[in-house]
C-alpha cells in the first residue's frame, strides 16, 4: 500500500531541507528521504567545520552555468539577507572573513540544527538510511519505491546534489532521474578542486609543501587573487580552487607571484641604492626563501645586484609575474567541493525549479547546472533554489 504524501523530497541536505521547511510551513505534508545515516553531512564538513553559509555580496557573476541568467530569479527572491535573518533568529554567532564570506563562529552544526529545528516546526518527516529504488509517474502522481516504504506524491523534489565526495554519499542519482524524465544533463566535472602536477613540477614543489603565497592565478577565462597553497600532492588554496572551476584539461595557468610589486623596476632601483646586496636578499623580502631557492637558479640568487643585467631582471620578472604551470589534472570528485554541469537550466522554470517536461517534478541545489564560486555561493544557491521550489510544491 503506497503512503500518500503531498511532497516527497530526495536529499536531506542544504537544498532539500530548505525546500521541506518552506513546503511544510505552507501546510503541505512533506517527507524527506536520504540514503545517508545522517542529514546534512556536507553542511557539517563545510567551511572546515564552520560552514561558510553565504556571502555578503551575491550576484549571478559568482556562478558558472550554461545559462548564466537562470540563477538570477531565485537568488533575488531568497537572498543572502533572508538567510542571515534566519541565522540571527536562531542567535547563531557568525563572522565575516575576506571577500564577504560568512562563517559560523562555533560550528557548522549550528546551521544544520537550525534547519532541522525549522523542519520539526514545519512538521517535516525526515527518513534516513532509505534507498530509492524506482520513481515513475502514474495518473499525475509520482510513485516512489524505496527500501523503507512506497510513496505516492503529488510533487517530487530532487535535491540529491552532485558527485563530489562520493564517500559522503554523493551519487549520480539526480542526473539519472533527470534523463529518465526527458531532461538533458550537461557533462559534469569536478569544481573547486586542487590540482595534481606533472612529474617534473611535482618533484620540486612537493619539497615545498605547506608554503602559502598570495597570488593572482589566471587563465584565459578568469583570474583570482587569493592564496595558493603548495601541498605534497600538488597545488591547492583558495585561488587554485577558484580557477579550477574555469580550467580546461591540458591548459597552462599563469600565476603572478608578486601582484603588488613591479619586480623589474624594483630590482633596477635597488641596483642603484643597494648594488652589493644579493638578489636572494631582495626577493626574500617578498616571497618565501625556500620557494625562491627552488624556483630560481642558485648562482643567480647569490649574485650582487650590480652584476646582474637588465635583461636578466626582465627574465626574473617574467618568472615571478607570469609563473607558468601546467597541471597534470585535478584531484577529481574525491576532494572536489562541487560538481560543475548538471541538469540543463533551459528545461526548468527559473522561478520554481519545476521541470518543463514533467509537472510536479523539481530539481534544486547542486544537481542543477549552477555552480558557485568558493565563498558561500554554493550554499546560497541551495537555500535560494530550495526556497523557490518550497513556495509551490
> How big is the site for ligand FDA, counted in residues (CB under 6 A)?
36
Residue pointed to by grid coordinates 558527485: 163
Piece of 62-70, 116-124, 158-166, 287-295 that binds ligand FDA (CB under 6 A): 158-166
Residues 160-179 that bind ligand FDA (CB under 6 A): 160-161, 164-165, 169-171, 173
State the nearest-atom distance from the C-beta of 125 to ligand FDA, in Å: 15
State the nearest-atom distance from the C-beta of 167 to ligand FDA, in Å: 10
CA–CA gap between residue 1 and residue 5 (Å, rounded)? 13
State the nearest-atom distance from the C-beta of 90 to ligand FDA, in Å: 18
* Nearer residue to ligand FDA within complex by CB, 82 or 264: 82
Interacting residue with ligand FDA among 20, 51, 126, 389 (CB under 6 A):
51
Residue 365 within binding range of ligand FDA, rule CB under 6 A: yes
* Nearer residue to ligand FDA within complex by CB, 14 or 292: 14
Residues 241-280 that bind ligand FDA (CB under 6 A): none
State the nearest-atom distance from the C-beta of 80 to ligand FDA, in Å: 11
Interacting residue with ligand FDA among 7, 9, 15, 142 (CB under 6 A):
15
Which residue's CB comes closest to ligand FDA? 365
Residue 52 within binding range of ligand FDA, rule CB under 6 A: yes
Residue window 324-343: x/- pattern of binding to ligand FDA, with contact defined by CB under 6 A: -------------xx-----
Residue 84 within binding range of ligand FDA, rule CB under 6 A: no
Residues 112-141 that bind ligand FDA (CB under 6 A): 132
Residues 367-386 that bind ligand FDA (CB under 6 A): 376-379, 382
Ramachandran class of 216: left when φ > 0, alpha when ψ lies in -120 to 50, beta otherwise:
beta
Residue 325 grid coordinates: 604551470
* Nearer residue to ligand FDA within complex by CB, 378 or 384: 378
State the nearest-atom distance from the C-beta of 234 to ligand FDA, in Å: 17
Return the half-sphere exposure (C-beta side, CA atoms, 13 A cut-off) of residue 139: 1
Residue 16 within binding range of ligand FDA, rule CB under 6 A: yes
Residue 110 within binding range of ligand FDA, rule CB under 6 A: no
State the nearest-atom distance from the C-beta of 104 to ligand FDA, in Å: 10
Residue 74 within binding range of ligand FDA, rule CB under 6 A: no
Binding site for ligand FDA (CB under 6 A): 10-16, 34-36, 41-42, 45-47, 51-52, 132, 159-161, 164-165, 169-171, 173, 337-338, 365-366, 376-379, 382
Amino acid at each position: 500500500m503506497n503512503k500518500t504524501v503531498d511532497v516527497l523530497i530526495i536529499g536531506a541536505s542544504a537544498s532539500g531541507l530548505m525546500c521541506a521547511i518552506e513546503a511544510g510551513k505552507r501546510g503541505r505534508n512533506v517527507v524527506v528521504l536520504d540514503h545517508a545515516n545522517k542529514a546534512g553531512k556536507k553542511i557539517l564538513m563545510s567551511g572546515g567545520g564552520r560552514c561558510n553559509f553565504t556571502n555578503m555580496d551575491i550576484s549571478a557573476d559568482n556562478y558558472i552555468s550554461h545559462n548564466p541568467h537562470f540563477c538570477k530569479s531565485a537568488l533575488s527572491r531568497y537572498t543572502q539577507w533572508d538567510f542571515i535573518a534566519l541565522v540571527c533568529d536562531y542567535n547563531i554567532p557568525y563572522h565575516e572573513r575576506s571577500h564577504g564570506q560568512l562563517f559560523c563562529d562555533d560550528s557548522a552544526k549550528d546551521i544544520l540544527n537550525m534547519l532541522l529545528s525549522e523542519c520539526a516546526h514545519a512538521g517535516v518527516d525526515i527518513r534516513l538510511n532509505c534507498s530509492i529504488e524506482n520513481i515513475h509517474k502514474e495518473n499525475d502522481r509520482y510513485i516512489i519505491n524505496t527500501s523503507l516504504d512506497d510513496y505516492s506524491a503529488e510533487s517530487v523534489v530532487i535535491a540529491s546534489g552532485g558527485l563530489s565526495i562520493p564517500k559522503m554519499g554523493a551519487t549520480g542519482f539526480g542526473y539519472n532521474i533527470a534523463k529518465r524524465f526527458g531532461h538533458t544533463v550537461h557533462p559534469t566535472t569536478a569544481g573547486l578542486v586542487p590540482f595534481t602536477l606533472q612529474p617534473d613540477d611535482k618533484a620540486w614543489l612537493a619539497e615545498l609543501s605547506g608554503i602559502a603565497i598570495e597570488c593572482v592565478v589566471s587563465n584565459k577565462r578568469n583570474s583570482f587573487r587569493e592564496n595558493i597553497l603548495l601541498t605534497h600532492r600538488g597545488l591547492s588554496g583558495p585561488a587554485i580552487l577558484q580557477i579550477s572551476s574555469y580550467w580546461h584539461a591540458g591548459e597552462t595557468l599563469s600565476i603572478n607571484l608578486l601582484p603588488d610589486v613591479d619586480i623589474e623596476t624594483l630590482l633596477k632601483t635597488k641596483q642603484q641604492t643597494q648594488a652589493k646586496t644579493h638578489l636572494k636578499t631582495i626577493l626574500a623580502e617578498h616571497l618565501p626563501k625556500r620557494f625562491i631557492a627552488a624556483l630560481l637558479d642558485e648562482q643567480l640568487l647569490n649574485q650582487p645586484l650590480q652584476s646582474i643585467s637588465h635583461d636578466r631582471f626582465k627574465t626574473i620578472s617574467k618568472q615571478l609575474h607570469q609563473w607558468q604551470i601546467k597541471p597534470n589534472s585535478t584531484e577529481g570528485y574525491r576532494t572536489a567541493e562541487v560538481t560543475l554541469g548538471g541538469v540543463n537550466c533551459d528545461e526548468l522554470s527559473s522561478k520554481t525549479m519545476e521541470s518543463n517536461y514533467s509537472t510536479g517534478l523539481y530539481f534544486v541545489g547542486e544537481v542543477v547546472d549552477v555552480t558557485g564560486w568558493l565563498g558561500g555561493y554554493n550554499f546560497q544557491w541551495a537555500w535560494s533554489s530550495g526556497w523557490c521550489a518550497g513556495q509551490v510544491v
